[in-house]
Amino acid sequence: MSSFDYDLFVIGGGSGGVRSARLAAGLGKRVAIAEEYRFGGTCVIRGCVPKKLFVYASQFHEHFEDAAGFGWTVGESSFDWKKLIAAKDIEVARLEGLYRKGLESAGAEIIESRAELTGPHSIRLVKSGKVVTAERIVIAVGGGANPHAALPGHEHCITSNEAFHLEKLPRSIVIAGGGYIAVEFANIFHGLGVDTTLIYRGKEILSRFDHDMRQGLHQAMEAKGIRIICSDLMEKVTKTAAGGLSVETLNNGTLSADQVMLALGRDPYTTGLGLEAAGVAVNERGAIVVDAYSRTNVPGIFALGDVTDRVQLTPVAIHEAMCFIETEFKNNPTSPDHDLIATAVFSQPEIGTVGLSEEQAASRFDEIEVYRAQFRPMKATLSGRAEKTIMKLIVNAADRKVLGAHILGHDAGEMAQLLGITLKAGCTKDDFDRTMAVHPTASEELVTMYSPSYRIRNGERV
Ligand code: NDP
C-alpha cells in the first residue's frame, strides 16, 4: 500500500478528467476527482451538447418553409427562447447526472471543490482547506473563452458561456471571430431570427479549412441573410443610452446591436492552479507542456485535454485520457494519435472534414489530384431552397492515397466520421472507385467522382 492518500487525483471533471478517473477507479485504483463547478466540462455544460441542441432549434424555420414544396401547409409558428433554454438545461443536468453516476459506480470519490497543487504530489482542496496527497495527478481543467481584455469595452460583450443563458433572445448581435464558435453561433442566432453580423480579421472565415469549404459556407451564410465582414477588427464597444451596444470597427464604421459576442479562441485555464508550487512548466499561452504520453516535466503529474492546447476537441481529450490509463495503469505504453482527426463545424450547411486541405496537400506533395463535385441536394429540388453541396477528395498522384476529404452540406459531420476511418486505414482513390454507391444519397458522390477535376503539379494548377 502506497503512503499517498490516492493512487490518482484528477483535477477537472470534464471529458478528459472524468474518463481518466472512471477508468482508473474501475481498475481498482484509489481515485478522487475534484471539480469546482459542474461535472461534464465544456462539452456537456457550455459547449458541444447545448450548442448542438441550439443548432437543431435554429433549423426549424427552414424545415417549416421547405415543407410547402412537399405538399404540407404549416400553420403559424412562433419561437420561445425561454422554453428552449429550460429544455436544454434539463438535458444538460441529465447528462451531468450520468457523468457523476459513472464515476460513483466505478468507485471514484467525487470532490466538489476547486483543487490547487501545492507540490509534486500534494493538492489543496480550496473549499475545506484540506491538503491531500496522490501518487499520480492528472490536470484536466480545460480552457476558458478568450475575454479579449485588450478591447476597450470587452466587459460589455458576452462569450459562448453567456450565450447559453441569455435572459432574452437579442434582436441583433455582432459576433467577433471566424472560427468554429463564431460561425456556429452566427448560424444559430440567425436561424432563431436574430439580425446577425460576423466580423473577422482575416480574408476569409475558418482560416484552417479548405478554401472551397470556406468560400462555400461564406456564400451560403450570406445568402441566408447573415452579414459577414472580413478583414476588419472591433476597436471599441460602448453602451448606448438606449441600452444597446455600439461597436466601432477599423474599416466599416460603427455597428449597433443588442449583444456583442466574442468568439476569439479559448485559453488554457491554468491561472492560480499552483503550477509554480509544483514546478509544472507552461508555454507562452499558459498551456501545460506535455510529452507524447501526456507527462509534464514533473514526474507523477500529467495533463490532458484543452489545458495542454494540443487539439481542443472533446474526443481528443477522451482519447488522451484512455492512452494515459493504458500507459500508467495497464503497463501498455500508448501515446495519443493526433493524426487525421475528423472534425465538423455545425454551421448551416455543415462542414465535415478530415486530412489535408487542397492548399496543405499542394504544398507538401509534388502532384495532387483534386476531385470536386458541386450539386443541389435532392431535398432542395422540391423545397426550392437555393443551396448547394460541395464534396472534395484530395489525392496524392504518386500513390493514389486519399490525403483529404471535405464536405459542405447536410450531415457533413456524420459523413466525416466515416471518411475518417477510410483515411486512417490509408485507403486509395482506387478503393473509393471500387466501392459501390448507396443510392440515392448525397454521399454516393464520394465514390463516383471518377476523373480528377484538376491537378496541382509543383504548386501550379494544371
Ligand atoms: P478558433 O480557434 O476556431 O477561432 C478563433 C477565431 O478568433 C479565429 O478566427 C481567429 O482568427 C480569431 N481571433 C483570435 N484572436 C483574435 C484577436 N485578438 N482579434 C481578432 N480575432 C481573433 O476558436 P473558437 O473560439 O471558435 O473555438 C475554440 C476551440 O473550440 C476551437 O479551436 C475548436 O477546437 C473547439 N470547438 C470545436 C467545435 C466543433 O468541433 N464543432 C465547436 C466549437 C469549438 P485567425 O483565424 O485569423 O487566427
Q: How far is the CA of 265 from the centre of ligand 1 (A)?
A: 4
DSSP code at position 57: H
**Three-state SS for 125?**
strand
* pLDDT of 440 higher than 90: yes
Q: Per-residue pLDDT tens for 239-251?
A: 999 999 999 999 9
Catalytic residue chosen out of the listed positions 165, 319, 406, 439: 439
Q: How far is the CA of 385 from the centre of ligand 1 (A)?
A: 30
Distance CA 64, CA 409 (A): 19
> Do 51 and 86 lie in a common domain?
yes
Query: Which amino acid residue places its CA nearest to atom 1 of ligand 1?
Result: 179
Q: Per-residue pLDDT tens for 159-205?
A: 999 999 999 999 999 999 999 999 999 999 999 999 999 999 999 99
> Do 194 and 245 lie in a common domain?
yes
> Do 201 and 322 lie in a common domain?
no
Residue carrying the nine cell digits 488522451: 320
Residue carrying the nine cell digits 475575454: 147
The preferred substitution site among 49, 181, 285, 316 for testing ligand 1, maximizing ligand atoms within 8 Å of CB, is 181
Q: How far is CA 123 from CA 13, 337, 447, 450, in A?
A: 16, 30, 54, 60
* pLDDT of 2 higher than 90: no
Q: Structural domain of residue 184, as residue ranges?
A: 154-264
Instruction: Pick the last residue of a domain from 329, 355, 375.
Output: 329
Q: Measured from the CB, is residue 265 less than 6 Å from ligand 1? A: yes
> Do 445 and 404 lie in a common domain?
yes
Q: Is 439 a catalytic residue?
A: yes
Query: Which amino acid residue places its CA nearest to atom 24 of ligand 1?
Result: 265
Distance CA 381, CA 384 (A): 5
Q: Measured from the CB, is residue 227 less than 6 Å from ligand 1? A: no
Q: Which residues contact 80 (CB under 8 A, 6 or more apart)?
A: none
Nearest to 180 by CA among 287, 313, 316: 313
Q: How many CB atoms lie within 10 A of CB 433?
A: 12
Ligand 1, residue 344: give the atom nearest the CA. 41
Instruction: Pick the last residue of a domain from 280, 304, 329.
Output: 329
* pLDDT of 381 higher than 70: yes
* pLDDT of 270 higher than 80: yes
* pLDDT of 404 higher than 90: yes
Q: Per-residue pLDDT tens for 64-100?
A: 999 999 999 999 999 999 999 999 999 999 999 999 9
> Do 160 and 251 lie in a common domain?
yes
* pLDDT of 54 higher than 70: yes
Residue 288 φ then ψ, to 5°: -75, 130
Nearest to 234 by CA among 205, 179, 197: 197
Q: Per-residue pLDDT tens for 257-269?
A: 999 999 999 999 9
Query: Which amino acid residue places its CA nearest to atom 14 of ligand 1?
Result: 264
pTM (2 d.p.): 0.97
Q: Measured from the CB, is residue 266 less than 6 Å from ligand 1? A: yes
Q: How far is the CA of 212 from the centre of ligand 1 (A)?
A: 19
Q: How far is the CA of 278 from the centre of ligand 1 (A)?
A: 31
Q: Per-residue pLDDT tens for 298-347?
A: 999 999 999 999 999 999 999 999 999 999 999 999 999 999 999 999 99
> Do 359 and 241 lie in a common domain?
no
* pLDDT of 115 higher than 90: yes
Confidence bin at 1 (pLDDT 50/70/90): low
The per-residue pLDDT of the chain, averaged, comes to 97
Express as a percent the part of the chain with pLDDT over 70: 100
The confidence score (pLDDT) of residue 95 equals 98
Domain total for the chain?
A: 3
